Every structure is written in structure tokens, then in C-alpha cells.
């Protein structure tokens, strides 16, 4: 847990992730999710760093704007900046497509069927949102409902 969210501590990314492979070297990644709607990924490649900051801004009940900014101190990445732009767009639109499909299904108010380890982060997100709403309504300090846990799964 972190102040308003949770963090996947520094770990080696999945060996089948091609996106990480282009960076080369010994790679670790750390991902932090926090309210309101912020995701920060820190990738270390030896002594070098790559950060991706993603934030979501609700525009109305049906639309959300996605902001993504990347920073790095890996000199040669500037050479593939056009590819990074394309890849980021492709990656984000995969997620957008999945969320749009979920929203379509949620119109019918189904019972949420979340799988233990694979959907734990989704469960945490819902618990965080619920606690956020309660702490504002009850005018009390926020109490992070996420407990320290080790998750393991293969993708």
C-alpha cells in the first residue's frame, strides 16, 4: 500500500514482454497506482531510468481524457521517439477498447465476477474508490483498505 493506492514493488518484468526487451540490459519495473486516477511506471535499465506518468481526467459521466507523459535518461531512446509515440498510442488504445467493452457490459448491471489473484488489483481499486467516497462523506482521514500482499501469476 501507498498513501492513496498501491504499488507493485520493483521486480523483473515478464520475460515475454517485447516492449521491455528493446531497452536491453538488466531491467526492473515498479508500478504505482493512486487516487485520483494516477499510474506511474518506473523502469530501471542498469543505471538508467524511464518513467511513464498516466493520469485520467473525467470530462463528464461518459468521457475521460487520458494524459501520458514519459521521461527518460536513456540517450538512444530519442532515436526511436516516433515509434514510442505509436507504441504508446497502440498500448493505450488497447486499454481504452477493453474499458469501453467493460462499460458496455456494465450497462446490464451484472454481478462482478473477479478472479482471486488476477483481479486483485481491480478489487483494490474498487475498495479504494469506496473508501475515498466514505472518507469525504464522513469528514475523516482516508484509511487505505489495501493490505500488504504478494501476488503471483503468469501471463
Q: Which tens digits make up the pLDDT trace of 96-151?
A: 888 788 778 878 877 776 666 668 888 899 899 999 999 999 999 999 999 998 87
Q: Looking at the predicted structure, is the pLDDT value of residue 15 above 90?
A: no
pTM, two decimal places: 0.81
Q: How far apart are CA 126 and CA 51, in angstroms?
A: 26
At 25, which helix (H) or strand (E)?
A: none
DSSP string for residues in 83-106? HHHHHHHHHHHHHHHHHHHHHHHH
pLDDT of residue 33: 95
Percent of the chain with pLDDT over 70: 92
Assess whether the previous peptide bond of 8 is cis (omega < 30° from 0). Answer: no
pLDDT of residue 120: 86
DSSP string for residues in 7-21? EEEEEPPPTT-HHHH
pLDDT of residue 132: 96
Collapsing DSSP to helix, strand or coil, 33 comes out as: strand
Comparison of pLDDT for 24 and 84, the residue scoring more:
84
Partner residues linked to 119 by β-bridges: none
Amino acid at each position: 500500500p501507498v498513501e492513496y493506492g498501491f504499488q507493485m514493488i520493483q521486480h523483473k518484468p515478464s520475460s515475454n514482454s517485447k516492449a521491455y526487451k528493446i531497452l536491453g540490459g538488466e531491467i526492473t519495473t515498479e508500478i504505482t497506482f493512486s487516487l485520483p486516477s494516477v499510474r506511474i511506471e518506473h523502469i530501471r535499465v542498469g543505471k538508467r531510468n524511464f518513467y511513464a506518468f498516466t493520469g485520467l481526467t473525467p470530462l463528464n459521466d461518459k468521457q475521460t481524457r487520458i494524459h501520458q507523459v514519459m521521461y527518460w535518461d536513456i540517450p538512444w531512446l530519442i532515436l526511436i521517439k516516433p515509434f514510442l509515440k505509436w507504441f504508446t498510442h497502440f498500448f493505450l488504445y488497447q486499454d481504452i477498447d477493453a474499458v469501453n467493452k467493460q462499460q458496455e457490459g456494465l450497462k446490464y448491471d451484472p454481478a462482478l465476477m473477479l478472479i482471486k489473484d488476477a483481479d486483485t488489483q481491480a478489487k483494490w481499486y474498487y475498495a479504494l474508490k469506496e473508501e475515498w467516497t466514505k472518507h469525504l462523506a464522513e469528514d475523516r482521514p482516508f484509511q487505505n483498505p489495501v493490505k500488504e500482499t504478494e501476488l503471483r501469476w503468469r501471463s
